[in-house]
């Protein structure tokens, strides 16, 4: 009888230990699972952070590229306005006096011979971003704005530069070279004498050249504010995501 009760007691104690061990094991498993989930979450967070940093870097590089283009256009715009202003002075002086003004003559002859005006609208930065995962994540409106800037607006500026070079080459071949006006080391008075002998041709080429510069400056005046808006939208997207 005593052995029977002793056996029952041992079974109860064993069952109690088993339940305790089972709970402990379950607790350990839960902790391990929680640890794995936390590790995965941290890994995902790190990967997302790396991807976000990569996106931010691409956006910053694009902004830098746009700022560089803006600085180039701003400088060209100032030069263009100066050419228009000085051309108007000479054209108006000729219309009033039928004479060639010496004030800006060398300046204008120099630019009339500039037939190497060029703008490269291709951008490695844009090409990289357009083929990246970032492009797919950007809002459609921002995609269109970037695409419009690099493909259309910059393309129009390139075309205007090409046309301007045509005007300059035409003037160089048909007026400047035949009249020995490519060498600006001559005195201003001597240059004025040569130009005055062909004053109507000079004014025609000058007005043609000026019309091309007006077209270019118009493109700059439209594009520069567009660049500012695009940069603002890119910075907003980077800071808001």
Decide: 66 and 125 in contact? Cβ < 8 Å: no
Say whether pLDDT at 33 is over 70: no
Please tell me the distance from the alpha carbon of residue 2 to that of residue 202, in angstroms, as a whole number. Answer: 133
Torsion over CA: 201, 215, 64, 144 (sign): negative
Q: List phi, psi (to 5°) of 117.
A: -65, 130
Please tell me the distance from the alpha carbon of residue 69 to that of residue 120, in angstroms, as a whole number. Answer: 10
The pLDDT tens digits for 100-113 are: 999 899 999 999 99
The pLDDT tens digits for 152-188 are: 999 999 999 999 999 999 999 999 999 999 989 989 9
Please tell me the distance from the alpha carbon of residue 226 to that of residue 224, in angstroms, as a whole number. Answer: 5
Decide: 224 and 134 in contact? Cβ < 8 Å: no
Say whether pLDDT at 23 is over 80: no
The pLDDT tens digits for 47-76 are: 455 555 667 788 898 999 999 999 999 999
Please tell me the distance from the alpha carbon of residue 143 to that of residue 223, in angstroms, as a whole number. Answer: 17
CA distances from 218 to 74, 130, 160, 222 (A): 12, 28, 10, 6
199-240 and 140-147 helices, crossing angle to 10°: 160
Say whether pLDDT at 94 is over 70: yes
Contacts 24+ apart (CB under 8 A), 77-80: 77/217, 77/220, 77/221, 77/224, 80/213, 80/214, 80/216, 80/217, 80/220
The pLDDT tens digits for 2-11 are: 444 444 444 5
Q: Give the chain's end-to-end CA distance (angstroms, integer).
A: 78
Please tell me the distance from the alpha carbon of residue 234 to that of residue 75, in angstroms, as a whole number. Answer: 24
What is the pLDDT at residue 130?
80
């Amino acid at each position: 009888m005593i052995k029977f009760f002793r056996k029952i007691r041992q079974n109860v104690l064993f069952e109690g230990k088993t339940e305790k061990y089972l709970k402990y094991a379950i607790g350990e498993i839960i902790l391990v699972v929680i640890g794995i989930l936390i590790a995965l979450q941290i890994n995902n967070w790190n990967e997302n952070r790396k991807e976000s940093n990569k996106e931010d870097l691409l956006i910053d590089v694009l902004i830098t590229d746009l700022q560089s283009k803006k600085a180039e256009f701003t400088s060209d715009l100032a030069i263009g306005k100066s050419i228009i202003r000085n051309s108007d002075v000479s054209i108006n002086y000729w219309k009033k006096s039928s004479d060639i003004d010496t004030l800006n003559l060398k300046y204008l002859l120099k630019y009339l011979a500039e037939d190497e005006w060029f703008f490269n609208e291709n951008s490695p930065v844009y090409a990289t971003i357009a083929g990246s995962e970032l492009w797919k994540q950007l809002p459609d409106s921002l995609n269109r704005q970037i695409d419009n800037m690099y493909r259309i607006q910059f393309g129009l500026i390139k075309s205007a530069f090409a046309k301007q070079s045509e005007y300059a080459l035409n003037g160089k071949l048909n007026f400047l070279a035949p009249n020995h006006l490519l060498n600006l080391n001559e005195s201003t008075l001597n240059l004025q004498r040569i130009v005055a002998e062909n004053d109507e041709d000079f004014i025609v080429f000058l007005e043609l050249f000026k019309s091309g510069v007006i077209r270019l400056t118009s493109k700059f005046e439209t594009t520069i504010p567009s660049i500012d808006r695009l940069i603002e939208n890119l910075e907003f997207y980077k800071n808001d995501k």
